[in-house]
Structure 1
Amino acid sequence: MQTTLASCATFAGTGLHSGRPAKCVVKPAPAGHGVVFCRVDVSARTATIPALWTHVRATALNTRIGNADGIEVSTVEHLLAALAGCGVHNARVELHGPELPALDGSAARFVRGVMDAGIKRLAAPLDVIEVTSPITVSSGDAWARLTPSDALEIDLTIDFPDAAIGRQQKVLDLGNGTFVRELCDSRTFCRQSDIEHMRRQGLALGGTYDNAVVYDGAGVLNPGGLRHKDEAVRHKMLDVMGDLSLAGYPLLGRYEGYKSGHAMTHRLVEALLSDPSAHRLRRCDDGLAKRLPGAGLVAADLAAVA
């Protein structure tokens, strides 16, 4: 069955890229609503933006979505990952600004807020998107692929010249509470050598050691170090989870990626949903529901950092 929140969850902080104060309230929504963002700080004919791949406007170091009236919301991927990982299908996200709060740079506090608000089952059946044939996108030596699977799986490899990151690979079945246990507390990261360039582009203006991991060659500059030895690849998988949710339905398929990021995952979702031979909508029965992200989630699944 479809789900929503049982009550509201409020989050406040600073936008990672804008550096501006940011606040959002995630509210319950009816069946069939999906996840929809609403800018309550602007006066526009349409201030709502569905969290769908067709509304993606930019993918440089974060995912930004927008509508036909030019209203946009950026850095949506961490909250979307939290909702998808907790198995929440419908929500209205009221946002007081152009960017979501970074919080600690992971999705853990979003997950905690969702779990504290409670998850409510709705009296409406759930459909999922099933990958029926392989589909691949690439750019240079980077690539991403979706292949058929009876669950959502992610197999991701990253490769950075910095010795503190290097080559990392992780494979997970995202069913049940795996996202919450394994990925949600992993923070966004950057290389010290890239910070000045990002800020000249108007990005990472709100970045601090409190909301991002900073790698510098063989070292980690954050006073507290890493939460996981492979925190970098775990965070990239978190991003994949959020970006895949822009398909609009839970996804059944195996995602494989090498050096893939927001742009490539968006291109992959677009390629999948633009090809009728590569996917189909499938009604979710009880057996399938038990394999989806969030099924059987309990409070003990949430990492202590949240």
Structure 2
Amino acid sequence: MCAGIGLHTGERVRLVLKPASTGAGISFVRSDITDRDNRIAALADNVTTVRLGTTIANEAGASVATVEHLMAALAGLGVDDAVVEIDGPELPVMDGSSAPFVDLVNRVGLKQLAAPRRAIQVLKPVVVESEGRRASFLPALSSMIEVEINFEHSAVGNQTCVFEVTPEIFSADIAAARTFGFRKDLDALLAAGLARGGSMENAVVLDDDGVANPEGLRFDDEFARHKALDALGDLYLAGAPIIGRYHAQRPGHAINNLALRALLADKSAWKMVTVRDACQHDVAMANS
């Protein structure tokens, strides 16, 4: 369980992770909604908004915003089945990374289930391009994320992040990378009534002089690492881990979702396989 404010709404919410049955996947339940269907499956088809984060919603209009950091934590740790109860419209931003979610899950522990794990195996290249951005899925022997970013700011510039999705690598190298933004953009969003929970406590803020946060960066390439984190979270809306290499140039939530939908729509580009050397995980007490 954790509590915090949403980056964009500024509202305080309470979030609880609970076990789910084998094969149930990840779903969000809006515990504050009682007059209609309040369960939202964490699937690409349910993505409704990709501005300033990824929002999912069901047909009854119940929605949850900014799901990508928690989804990245679940993907990185190998959690296949879980129920996420939340009493508000947006996940808490915590420190702007996935690390607090990883710490909470690790504190409780994971239970391995007997059923073999299912995964989506990429069989052939799938490429999408949109507004100067490009993303592709390529066949590979494991789950890989590669992102390339280019910002005209001295603290960022050209950066690349490549990592294999394993609990060890994700926890050590990716989970702590924070979201980032430019002070001028933050000021404009605040003036428009957006990003009301945004501050240097939950994001890396860039101004004309560089990184404004007194503590500086956690990694020299924290910006690329966070974009890779976002990509992993967005892609876990496939409903299963993806065995393949995802390569994105100038990635963002929109191109991530566009690429994922393109992959899933092409039935010849993938197949569902059983990962026999891995077991599904559930959110449960380690000693249960």
Query: What range is the shorter-chain TM-score in?
Result: over 0.9
For 1:51, the equivalent position in structure 2 comes to 42
When residues 97 and 107 of structure 1 are mapped into structure 2, their CA distance, relative to the original with a 3 A threshold, is: same
For 1:274, the equivalent position in structure 2 comes to 265
* Identical residues among aligned pairs (%): 44
Contact 2:122 2:271 in 1 (8 A): yes
Partner letter of residue 127 of structure 2?
Answer: T
Partner letter of residue 16 of structure 1?
Answer: L
For 1:89, the equivalent position in structure 2 comes to 80
SS in 2 for 1:177: helix
For 2:16, the equivalent position in structure 1 comes to 25
Contact 1:44 1:69 in 2 (8 A): no
SS in 1 for 2:115: coil
Contact 1:164 1:217 in 2 (8 A): no
Contact 2:147 2:228 in 1 (8 A): yes
SS in 2 for 1:89: strand
1:67 corresponds, among 58, 74, 86, to 58
Q: CA deviation at 1:170?
A: 1.6
- Cα deviation, 1:133-182, whole Å, max 9, x if unaligned, reads 10011113211111000111111111111111111112112234111110
Structure 2 CA distance, aligned partners of 1:272 and 1:115?
Answer: 32
- Cα deviation, 1:159-208, whole Å, max 9, x if unaligned, reads 11111111111211223411111000011100112113323454311011
Written as runs of structure 1 = structure 2, the 5 A alignment for 1:23-172 is 23-172=14-163
Q: CA deviation at 1:258?
A: 0.7
Q: CA deviation at 1:260?
A: 1.3
Q: Larger deviation: 164-173 or 110-119?
A: 164-173
Q: CA deviation at 1:86?
A: 0.6
- Work out which structure has the larger RCO, using CA pairs closer than 8 Å and 6 or more positions apart in sequence: 2
- Cα deviation, 1:250-279, whole Å, max 9, x if unaligned, reads 110101111010010001110000001111
1:285 aligns with 2:286: no
For 2:185, the equivalent position in structure 1 comes to 194
Gaps of 5+ in 2: 282-288
1:233 aligns with 2:233: no
Contact 1:162 1:218 in 2 (8 A): no
Between Structure 1 and Structure 2, the one with more strand by share is 2
Partner letter of residue 194 of structure 2?
Answer: L
Structure 1 CA distance, aligned partners of 2:119 and 2:227?
Answer: 23
- Cα deviation, 1:215-270, whole Å, max 9, x if unaligned, reads 11341111111111111110111001100100001110101111010010001110
Computed over aligned residues only, the root mean square deviation of the Cα atoms, in angstroms, reads 1.5
Gaps of 5+ in 1: 1-9, 294-306
Contact 2:77 2:166 in 1 (8 A): no
Contact 1:162 1:216 in 2 (8 A): no
- Say how many residue pairs are matched: 281
